[in-house]
Amino acid sequence: MSQPLIELDGTMGEGGGQVLRTSLTLSLLTGKGFHLANIRAGRSKPGLQPQHLQSVLASARIGNAHIRGASLGSTDLVFEPGPVQAGCYHFNIGTAGSTGLVLHTIALPLALAGGEPSEVSLIGGTHVTTSPSFHFNDRTWRQHLQRLGVSLTLRLDRPGFYPRGGGLVRVFVQPSAGLRGRHLPSRGEVSVSGISAVAGLDSGIARRQARRARQLLEAHDLDVQLDEQTWEGGPGSVLVLEVQTGDVPAVFVGLGARGKPAERVAEEAVAELLDYVRAGSALVDAHSGDQLLLPLALAEGPSSYEVATVTRHLTTNIAVIGHFLHRPIRCIGNEGEPGRVEIL
């Protein structure tokens, strides 16, 4: 007799795609099916959008799953997983939807349950708003996973910006024997480096982004080493600021847009960086706070870390994980403020 489905409400917590992605990952790893209702019901475009749908389809493909409700705009999904299978996979979002968020959904199942190496090609957005950029995934997320026992290699073959998309990321996943818990230390001395890049645009935009970033950071007694680059593809621009405070850097990104001054791109990235620097001793940035939680909840042994900002994404992830795993997790701190996460 099959197990009953886990019933989930997509309006819980932050009410967006995170409920879906975490549920898909944990379903593949635990073998527990789920029914998710009210998917993104509170968003301006409710239901499954292209990047969410591709996360479902990619999960179903690697996990031999039975699915119902997997269509654009659907607000109701049933996902019943089979065994995860390693292999060579190609997923095309078809828009500038985030390749990074699809990757976050399937990487742990392939590493922990695939049993063999896998290669994944993802086409879509590589540097788009409200989602982890390629450089964040490569410099921060991947390095956190590596220290927990998961080995990934990420390669940016072609950048993809909004609205055109079309970026190509290749991911090489090695099988993992399991995750190990970790107590992350407080941060150390701060150093800043990064890149200012354009693709299909005048190189002067990259210079202006870099110049403004240097001005702002030096005004706060922070030196920065910035490399100005011109990429193929595009059009688009990006400023990536990497803050080294421990063995894994924090990455903050500003993105260009039609009609948006290059200086504004720099100001947005620097503002996020300064919020992090001012957050006391916390090593883990706000974006990593919820993304680090899932692998640590699956790891053997206790873990803990200080996070620069307790976000709604973090508390939502705690709630979703609780539906699949019997793992005590404690978040100490108020939303919008620095906090501490303990996985017992």
- Mean pLDDT over residues 294-310, rounded? 98
Q: Cβ contacts of residue 16 below 8 Å, gap of 6+? A: 40, 43
The answer to whether the CB of 154 falls within 8 A of the CB of 137 is yes
- pLDDT tens per residue, range 82-92: 999 999 999 99
User: pTM for the full model?
Assistant: 0.97
pLDDT at 3: 83
Matching fold, domains 6-178 and 191-277? no
- pLDDT tens per residue, range 31-70: 999 999 999 988 889 999 999 999 999 999 999 999 999 9
CATH number of 191-277: 3.30.360.20
- Mean pLDDT over residues 264-283, rounded? 96
Can you give the residue ranges of every domain in the chain?
Answer: 6-178, 191-277
- Mean pLDDT over residues 262-276, rounded? 98
With a pLDDT cut of 70, the percent of the chain lying above it is 99
pLDDT at 223: 92
Does CATH place domain 6-178 in 3.65.10.20?
yes
Beta strands in the chain (DSSP E): 6-9, 34-37, 66-68, 76-80, 88-92, 118-124, 152-158, 167-173, 191-199, 224-231, 236-244, 250-255, 303-307, 329-332, 339-343
Tokens found for residue 293: 């939680």
- Mean pLDDT over residues 291-300, rounded? 97
- Mean pLDDT over residues 274-289, rounded? 95
pLDDT at 1: 43
User: Does the annotation count 313 as an active-site position?
Assistant: yes
| Catalytic annotation, pick one of 135, 313, 323, 326 | 313
pLDDT at 44: 87
pLDDT at 2: 67
